[in-house]
Amino acid sequence: MKNFMKVFAMLAGFALGGISLAETAQATLILDFKFEDPNQIAGPNDTIEMWATFSNSSTSDQTFLSDGQPIGLSIYWGDLVQVGAGYEWNTPISTVESFLDLVLTPGESIRFLFGYLNPVSGPVAPGTYSSNGGDITVNGVLYGGWMENIFTVTVVDSSDVPAPGMLGLIALGLVMVGFGRRRA
């Protein structure tokens, strides 16, 4: 009976040890996707660059490997691309290619051009246009939680935005007024 109890205790110890090893052996890959500047102000003829970051969290304990798999970039347009908004979306091929052999160790990220919004039929009417969100799919897994990645463009009339040269002239005029008061 003593031997049976020793064997039973030993087997139970191995089983419990195996369970705890199995629990600690599970690796966690924590990835995220975000637009860098999701609120843009643009003129009616401006092309808008949509920069984003794809990152592997520093608390992740796995390295992300894309293994040559293509990525999917999705944006749920809302009123950004529709009749009246006048934008079309393009993704540069270099963005897609940059993900084919992507390796991100914990704490690393990649900054990439998600796409362009180009006016297609003349100037875009002033107003605010928003997407319903965006995400990225890599190796069949969706990242970014589309509702968390809303992209908004506020189009202002070009007469509302002073040209850089005009701002320089205004600054020069203020400096001259300051010198004129100093001499008086």
- What confidence tens digit (pLDDT) does each residue in 32-75 have? 888 999 999 999 999 999 999 999 999 999 998 888 877 788 87
Q: What is the mean pLDDT of residues 172-178?
A: 66
Whether domain 31-156 has CATH 2.60.40.10: the reply is: yes
Domain residue spans of the chain: 31-156
What are the strands, taking DSSP E only, across the chain?
31-35, 39-42, 48-56, 64-65, 71-76, 87-90, 103-104, 109-119, 127-130, 133-138, 141-143, 152-155
Render the burial of 52-85: b for 16+ CB within 10 Å, e for the rest.
Answer: bebbbbeebeeebebeeeebebebebbbbbeeeb
* Mean pLDDT, rounded, of the chain: 76
Task: Please state the pTM of the whole predicted model.
Answer: 0.67
Q: What is the mean pLDDT of residues 116-124?
A: 87
Q: Virtual CA dihedral for 115, 118, 124, 127, nearest 10 degrees?
A: 10
